[in-house]
Amino acid sequence: MPWNAIETPYLRVDQPRFDNNIQRLNCHLNALNTPLRPHVKTVKSLPAVKAIFNGGTGPITVSTLKEADFFAQHGFDDQIYAVGIAENKLPHVKRLIEQGIDLKIILESETQACNVVEFCRLHDVVIPTLVEVDCDGSRAGLTPDSQALMAVSQLLADAQLFKGVLLHAGGSYGCSTRAEKVAAAENERATAVRVKDQLAGVDIACPIVSIGSTPTAHFAQDLSGVTEVRAGVYVFFDLVMANINVCSLDDIALSVVTTVIGVKPEKGWILIDAGWMALSRDRGTAHQAIDYGYGMVLDAAGRPLDGWVVESTSQEHGIIKHRAGLTDIPSDIQVGDQLRILPNHACATASQFDKYYVSNAEDELIDEWPRFNYWT
Amino acid sequence: MPWNAIETPYLRVDQPRFDNNIQRLNCHLNALNTPLRPHVKTVKSLPAVKAIFNGGTGPITVSTLKEADFFAQHGFDDQIYAVGIAENKLPHVKRLIEQGIDLKIILESETQACNVVEFCRLHDVVIPTLVEVDCDGSRAGLTPDSQALMAVSQLLADAQLFKGVLLHAGGSYGCSTRAEKVAAAENERATAVRVKDQLAGVDIACPIVSIGSTPTAHFAQDLSGVTEVRAGVYVFFDLVMANINVCSLDDIALSVVTTVIGVKPEKGWILIDAGWMALSRDRGTAHQAIDYGYGMVLDAAGRPLDGWVVESTSQEHGIIKHRAGLTDIPSDIQVGDQLRILPNHACATASQFDKYYVSNAEDELIDEWPRFNYWT
């Protein structure tokens, strides 16, 4: 099928960039002797995840039990479900474990730990559990050195459910300089190791010490003491990551292809058939170095239209304007032309679609990768 | 199935509110003797759309050709696809028309009109076409009184494809007072009728004069001269509509049910298992009278937790904080509790899910409505 037979909007993956992104992080972590447990929440697609493992399988991180189910069916039997567990999901977790999946859950409170211990006792199942540790105050987890962290870990260890600790340096998304990212990575590692040592002090072994975020995974200089690193968005990268210098614009492997459905020279507007339903409502670049609106505009060949961004969106319409208020629309942009939009946040944009159209280096359409969404 | 057996996050519809919302607009438009062509982009669900038509079918507006396909298969044979047409979609439109669907398309340029005329000539098909007219400068359409509007209409009329005009008062989303909304509605109507009269002056008949937006549909005082009204989000309503006084908070029929997975009293944070993947990234209330963050928080019984909103989100995590910075978390909120989040924008939040769980007035789970997303 030729590209122009595909109805717009659609999602395009540039496979050479995708492959390069995978290889770059693999090399970096190989050099640091630490395995990667990729977060499949970004791609939610079997061929994409298989590409990460060079055609095979390996340990993965999931953000929903639907991901767990799907990848379990395809041979990925070592998983961490990296969202604090809710009791209503325990029967689902049990089903996966009884299918032979080594699915680890995470939690951060005595209430959750008691629920899990009690559920396992009642149902005669072992749910391996990690305690979530907060290394930078950005989201979830118990603080290191806290009494609660030790108490929750002990509760799980007594029931032989404790399997380790999990940290996520979410604060690293605010680090634009190299030094800041290196420091965030070292803080994530050092916090994890400190907690592991505290637990060792009370005879609780920590077989899994899992850390990671895309910025810290790429800028870690030392990973001694941790057993694995997690990252997700690095396979596609996006404008948020480019703005904090984790990647360059030329590394971004994902774009939304759209058609120009109106041109308003008097206003400097280009109207496209990609609105928030295609681009997502993500405005992650709003407070970064460069605000790309709802995405940066490229022409059909992938060349940047310098300064032009998707300034506003409704459900199936986008309005492209110039960031600096120029109203001279590039003269070669006409109704019917196709454009590509680079995403602010690849996880959010990809989640608006159920498939990827894949391009090789010669700009040929070589594959279609199905993806899924939702929770159950 | 009891509610608490459903894994969170999930989408809940309160059917009595949904039914009331449908009835309210039906009564209003009946009184004005003008039929409604509901926009199914909000619900994308057969039982929901059938409920709008009291179990039957009727004229609908669609935002994607996937909606057109789906509802065509279920007997909805009078449709308008209300996004300016791109040439790559014409073969799909042709297939629908050849199935017997009276599918109208819209456009706003001579380029598009020429493409459609040429496509119809080459493929011996008649694609009924409306010209999009801009009544308030907010998005798409040709301006009334413009030479281009007359030229495009003439081009289509000469090929016997012209079927009328379509307007959308998108600017009405910025109208908070009753007087502003009444004026926006009258401007939308009067603009449509003016264009119809201009076309009549050059012997172009306008069998369809289609206008509408949820605010103007509810505040129109007179609809003489228009043949139909479109509205979509009114069936669910949302915080954006409540903020501009089109509905009250008690009319909002849609909520995301989520579980508390962490409580941080020292920060005044409640952590939930609904992030932007469940709530959407929509921040439509950001610049309105009340900024609800990513949504307004209710307890499990639907009572507001006054002032508490979802302040930030990542993919599967939300952080609830108090709008005024209070840090005293309501004492009865515990890890494991369920909460409900009212959406900023119901179209965006609903699009994150593939089903609705439906409640009756007694808070019983009475139905599951499947919904779909995507484009093809």
Residue B45 lies in a domain: yes
pLDDT at B216: 98
Q: Residue A104: beta bridge partners?
A: A80
Ordered DSSP codes for B97-145: HHTT-EEEEEE-SHHHHHHHHHHHHHHT----EEEEE-SSSSSSSBPTT
Q: For residue B375, tell me if it sits in a domain.
A: no
User: Distance from B360 to chain A by nearest Cα, in Å?
Assistant: 22
Instruction: Judge if A217 and A315 occupy the same domain.
Output: no
Establish if B241 belongs to a structural domain. Answer: no
pLDDT in tens, A88-110: 999 999 999 999 999 999 999 99
Residues linked to residue B81 through DSSP beta bridges, in sequence order: B62, B105
Residues 6+ apart with CB under 8 A from B132: B84, B106, B107, B108, B140, B141, B142, B165, B166, B167
CB-CB under 8 Å, B6 with A88: yes
Residue B27 in domain:
yes
Hey, are the CB atoms on A85 and B261 less than 8 Å from each other?
Answer: yes
A7 DSSP assignment: P
Looking at residue A222, its pLDDT comes to 98
Q: How many whole angstroms separate alpha carbon B292 and alpha carbon B308?
A: 8
In this predicted structure, what is the pLDDT of residue A374?
98
Q: Which chain A residues are Cβ-neighbours of B334 within 8 angstroms?
A: 111
Work out the minimum CA distance from A198 to partner chain B, whole angstroms. 22
Residue B211 in any domain: the answer is: yes
Q: Is residue B242 part of a domain?
A: no
Assess whether B141 and B168 both reside in one domain: yes
Q: What pLDDT does residue A331 have?
A: 82
Last residue of one domain, picked from the residues B208, B235, B262? B235
Q: What is the pLDDT of residue B286?
A: 96
Give the best residue of A270, A312, A317 to mutate against chain B (max B CB count within 10 A): A317
B295 shares its domain with B326:
yes
CATH number for A297:
2.40.37.20
Domains contained in chain B, number: 2
Domain identity same for A32 and A158: yes
End of a domain among A179, A206, A234? Answer: A234
Distances (CA, A) of B132 to A259, B104, B108, B201: 17, 12, 5, 19
Contact check, Cβ <8 Å, A281/B281: yes
Question: Taking CB atoms and an 8 Å limit, are B261 and A115 in contact across chains?
Answer: no
Task: Determine phi and psi for B62, rounding to 5 degrees.
Answer: -125, 155
Q: Are residues B57 and B103 in the same domain?
A: yes
- A271 CB neighbours in chain B (<8 A) are 84, 139-140
With a cut of 50, list the residues of chain B below it in pLDDT.
none
> What is the tens place of the pLDDT at every residue in B219-262?
999 999 999 999 999 999 999 999 999 999 999 999 999 999 99
Same domain for A107 and A136? yes
Whether residue B226 sits in one domain with residue B263: no
The reply to whether A190 and A81 lie within a common domain is: yes
Comparing CB atoms, the residue among B9, B112, B140 nearest residue A317 is B140
The reply to whether A40 touches chain B by the CB within 8 Å rule is: no
Local structure of B171: helix, strand or coil: helix
Q: Which domain holds residue B38?
A: 15-235
A271/B140 Cβ within 8 A: yes
Q: Is residue A9 part of a domain?
A: no
Q: Is residue B240 part of a domain?
A: no
At residue B331, the pLDDT reads 82
Based on the domain organization, do A259 and A202 belong to the same domain? no
Task: Extract the residue ranges of chain A whose pLDDT is less than 70.
Answer: none
What are the CA-CA distances from residue B249 to residues A191, B303, B328, B342, B347 (Å)? 45, 11, 24, 9, 16
B41 and B136 fall within a common domain: yes
Q: What is the pLDDT of residue A199?
A: 98
Q: How many angstroms separate the CA atoms of B271 and B318, rounded?
A: 6
Pair B58, B160 in one domain: yes
Judgement on whether residues A63 and A173 belong to the same structural domain of the protein? yes
Boundary (domain end) residue, out of B235, B265, B280: B235
**Domain CATH code at residue A138:** 3.20.20.10
